[in-house]
Structure 1
Amino acid sequence: MRTVQEAALGGLGALVRGLVGSRPRRTDTVHTSAATLHALRARHGYAPLLLRTRGGRAVLVLLDPRDLGRFYAEPASVLAAEPPEKCRSPYAAEPAGAGCGHGAPRPEPRRTDTQALAPGLPVHPSYEPILTLLAEEARQLTASGTLELARVRHTVDRVARRIVLGHAAAQDERLTGWLRQLRAEGGRPGPATEPGTSTGRSRATARSLYGKADERIREYARRADGDTLLGRAARHPGAPGRAHQWLAALDTLPETLLRTLLLLGAHPAEQRRAATEAGAAAAPGELPWLRACVRESLRLYPVVPDLIRVTRTETDWHGVRHPAGTVVLLPAAFHQRDPEHVPAAHAFVPGRWKDQGAVQDIRMAPFGHGAGRCPGDQLGLLVTAALCAEVLRSHRIEATRPVLDPVGPLPETLGPHGIRLTLARR
């Protein structure tokens, strides 16, 4: 195992500063460079790479796919989804890591999630009312004949509020704004600090935003019907607190939806197959091909491209012992598109997900694995695939920006702000 100084790693050094620094960063702006990681693996081999930041923090980067199983399997007593601060929940009642997809929540939040999200069920128990509201919202989504991020986000925000809180929340854009601002600012209200300082003002603002959002969510909880996530978890006192997390998770859907439709627009055969499935009447909540397209979009462009945990005890990796407090970094996006181990790594191949073993493939982790697997993965797939179906049932994607090469390697990153799709009625 080699130790490499941060300054020598270019983009990887910037990533590590973002992960172990004090200021949160968006996952779509901080990610490892695949070229850098391939070069490091070619130079130093497959053993975990020990990186030391200028501040002296030890970061262990996992370059071998064989190490991924251990990363997902280790209990929280060994590998914890704790610091850095960016992985602390933006909501005061939640444990560190609960909102980051890096570890499992505590038992009570897990029970609440299970009741509301029905993890493991391909078709959510509330799928019929969910599909009805998706059809209603999709009419506005396709009304202009073009799709871009602002329009998609507006529709998905309404969908998220209706699924989590109920129809009364459909137009509550202020609540979404409060929650988004909390997340953008690192969100955790935190303990009181000296008034008048910038940190004190920031925490006071966070506490105020959290208080207003929490009060509004509890109002909706009092009248939520049994088909909403809040209604399904009504007997759990922590449901309103978890609703913050459910809304945050659904906040990632607009970018995934837009990228999936862009990829379908660039691959006519896959789009025709998706449209045929969307038009079929059988099993409307399943949509296996469209779900495969969403999974493949997330493989290529994951919501969380890099996963981090922190060792709680001394650990041994490839015969080298590392003290407690070592950051362990799994560059998930790199492994999901590693051409040395993943066939057609840089191509859009939804068919790879027809094999049930692909979901269990430790290299493919759009929703994580083990105890830290996202409990809302099936609900997220249902909503995203069903929205794709609503678009494709009545429209075809006629033109895209950017123009993707359906044969050549797809770009490593695909910023959602630059995507624009032109629709034509069928």
Structure 2
Amino acid sequence: MPAQALPTASALDTARLLLGVLLPTVAEGPVIKRPRAVGLAARLELDSKAVAIVRKVHGKYPDGPLMLKLPIRKQAVVLAPEDVETVLAQSPDPFSPASSEKKAALSHFQPSNVLISQGPVRTVRRVLHEQVLDTDHPVHRLADAFVPVVEDEIQELLVDAVRAGSLPWDDFADAWHRVMRRVVFGDHAADDTGLTMMLDRLRKDGNWAFLKPVRKRTRARLNERIRDELARAEPGSLAAALAAAPKGDGAEPADQVPQWLFALDNTGMAAFRALAVLVTHPEAMAAARREIDGDTSGRRHLPYLRACVLEVLRLWPTTPMILRQTTQPVQWARGLMPAGCGVLIYTPYFHRDDRHLRSAHNFSPERWLTDEDDGWPLVPFSDGPVVCPGKQLVLLLTSTALASLVSGHDFEVQEGPRLDPARPLPGTMDNYSVTLGVSLRA
């Protein structure tokens, strides 16, 4: 007797998910954001509409992962919170992060990275990431080096912003790129914009995945530049930690570094968005400043500001699609999922579920400081055995940046969306359009 198949969406519902959810998300940029596409998504409220589409489809197919009716690709969408937990808890096997789509995108600039690796070599690379990024510790062992880097660059940024009277996104992004180059390679790399531009060029190609050929010579030059930087590893940098870490066979250390730069770039977006929210939410700003004033950790552990970043990533995840691919057939209660099947978790559907989450569309960082939402898939850094290994480092750097920004300066929105705390926040946050007025605090 043949195994029962999972529920399959109709051709019409498959088209709704592809055109209303997948296409807008990919258009915004899965590897590096496209500013114009983000702006268009904000104006047309495409991300909010995508959540509504998933909710409607889930209402029609309430049980088990839903297979899409596609002619070639075997693809499932996860719609139930308990199924999200199953997929993430059972990664990387049988739910491998190395999906075909992710391989096609990331191979443009990091073909041997842990995210698209499988088997024993993946284990070797994952262990290396966890060692260097200090995954299990909320305060990285190199925090005494990293915190001054963040404070130094933010203060330089603020001097120029006060002089100009404004802080646009582009200026913040430039300062943040200096932070991430210094954190990864050391102070000598602060001005190495060429390396960032080279990586961004390849990341833009990665947005096209299968549809664009790999620039193999550019990728080789990037890898050579990174190897040169690693050879010059400065004490107190991730490069130095990488040089000192034990490396198993197939570790390919240089090919792990682009992911850190990629992830830290998205981290800057989260930090700036968090600043914009604090500027428009006086109660949250007051709570943040109380924490800063009472801090005894030297800005190394600021729980409320970390919660602010997590809440911004819940509201506007920089990676809204978690992708997996089955390494073998997987039996679910409602049927069998075949081997080689793509699995999609669209996180905004769960992050913005106002049927189950209090203040789902509002800024409520306190949720991350309690167990109120435990058991619900709020997964801005994924979860389970393949949770983002740099999660704690990201929270350290962003909370330090926010503390440096708001402790001695006041801000107001000059351009961009006005985020009203009394109203639901938009489904898309167009940080590219934001300019903040800046002045010294009285």
TM-score, normalising length: structure 2: 0.84
CA distance in 2, matches of 1:389, 1:221: 30
- Higher mean C-alpha displacement, 115-124 vs 142-151: 142-151
Whole-Å separation in 2 of the counterparts to 1:366 and 1:104: 27
- Using the aligned pairs only, state the percent identity: 29
C-alpha contact (below 8 Å) 2:230/2:239 kept by paired residues:
yes
Matched residue SS, 1:40: helix
- Which of 3, 7, 17 does residue 8 from structure 2 map onto? 3
Write the mapping of 1:48-87 to structure 2, written as runs, cut at 5 A: 48-53=65-70, 55-87=71-103
Any conservation in 2 of the 1:309–1:327 contact (CA below 8 Å)?
yes
SS at match of 2:336: strand
Q: Which residues of structure 2 form unaligned runs of 5+? A: 1-5, 42-46
Q: Structure 1 CA distance, aligned partners of 2:16 and 2:119?
A: 26
| Structure 1: distance between partners of 2:128 and 2:389 | 10
d(CA) in 2 for partners of 1:300 and 1:313? 34
Instruction: Say whether the 8 Å CA contact 1:148–1:258 is kept in structure 2.
Output: no
Following the alignment from structure 1 to structure 2, what is the Cα–Cα distance between the partners of residues 319 and 357? 30
Tell me how far 1:185 sits from its aligned partner.
0.5
Q: CA RMSD in A?
A: 3.0
Once residues 104 and 187 of structure 1 are traced to their aligned partners in structure 2, the CA distance between those partners, rounded to angstroms, is 28
Matched, 1:41 2:50: no
SS in 1 for 2:86: helix
Deviation for aligned residue 1:211: 1.9
Question: 1:221-275: per-residue Cα shift (whole Å, max 9, x none)?
Answer: 2221231001012134643322222111111122101110111112101111212
- For these two proteins, the number of residue pairs brought into alignment is 409
The 2-side partners of 1:344 and 1:104 are apart by 43
Aligned residue for 1:185, secondary structure, equals helix
Q: Distance in 2 between matches of 1:369 and 1:348?
A: 22
Q: How do 1:170-185 and structure 2 match up within 5 A?
A: 170-185=190-205
8 Å contact from structure 1 (residues 274, 290) kept in 2 = yes
Q: Higher mean Cα deviation, 315-324 or 386-395?
A: 315-324
Amino acid at match of 2:77: V
Q: 1:365 aligns with which of 379, 403, 412?
A: 379
Instruction: Output the CA distance in 2 between the equivalents of 1:18 and 1:231.
Output: 40
Report the secondary structure of 1:147's partner residue: strand
1:270 aligns with 2:280: no
Q: Which amino acid aligns with 1:134?
A: V
With over 3 angstroms needed to count, the CA separation of the structure-2 counterparts of 1:188 and 1:5, relative to structure 1, is closer
Instruction: Kindly indicate whether the alpha-carbon contact (under 8 Å) linking 2:314 and 2:348 is maintained by their aligned counterparts in 1.
Output: yes
Unaligned runs of 5+ in 1: 191-197
Matching residue of 2:127: 111
Aligned to 2:360: 345
- Distance of 2:25 and 2:428 partners within structure 1: 19
| CA distance, structure 2, for counterparts of residue 381 and residue 3 of structure 1 | 39
Give the whole-Å Cα distance in 2 for the aligned partners of 1:407 and 1:24.
31
- CA contact under 8 A between 1:362 and 1:369: conserved in structure 2? no
1:194 corresponding residue in structure 2: none
The Cα offsets for residues 304-356 of structure 1, whole Å up to 9 and x where unpaired, read as 11112112222223321232122211111211111122111111001111125
Return the structure number with greater helix share: 2
Q: Normalization by structure 1: what TM-score?
A: 0.87
The alpha-carbon distance between structure 1 residues 42 and 258, as it changes in their structure 2 partners (threshold 3 A), is same
Relative to structure 1, the CA distance from residue 356 to residue 243 in structure 2 (aligned partners, 3 Å threshold; closer, same or farther) is: farther
- Equivalences for 1:69-148 in 2 at 5 Å? 69-88=85-104, 89=106, 90-95=109-114, 97=116, 106-142=122-158, 143-144=160-161, 145-148=165-168
The amino acid that maps onto 2:122 is R
Residue 406 of structure 1 deviates from its aligned partner by: 0.6
In 2, Cα distance between equivalents of 1:116 and 1:187: 27
1:7 to 1:141, Cα distance in 2 relative to 1, 3 A: farther
Counterpart check, 1:260 vs 2:237: no
SS in 2 for 1:397: strand
> Would the alpha carbon gap of residues 155 and 6 (structure 1) be closer, same or farther in structure 2, given more than 3 Å must change?
farther
Secondary structure of the residue aligned to 2:257 is helix
The answer as to 2:171 corresponding to 1:151 is: yes
CA contact (8 A) 1:181 1:187 kept: no
Provide the rounded CA distance (Å) in 1 between the counterparts of 2:372 and 2:124: 31
Residue identity matched to 2:276: L
Letter in 2 for 1:308: L
- What corresponds to 2:227 in structure 1? 218
Over residues 57-81 of structure 1, what are the superposed CA-to-partner deviations in whole Å (9 max), with x where a residue is unaligned? 2322111111111011124332122
* Aligned equivalents of 1:380, 1:103: Cα separation in 2: 27
Higher relative contact order (CA 8 A, sep 6+): 2
Bigger shift: 333-342 or 316-325? 316-325
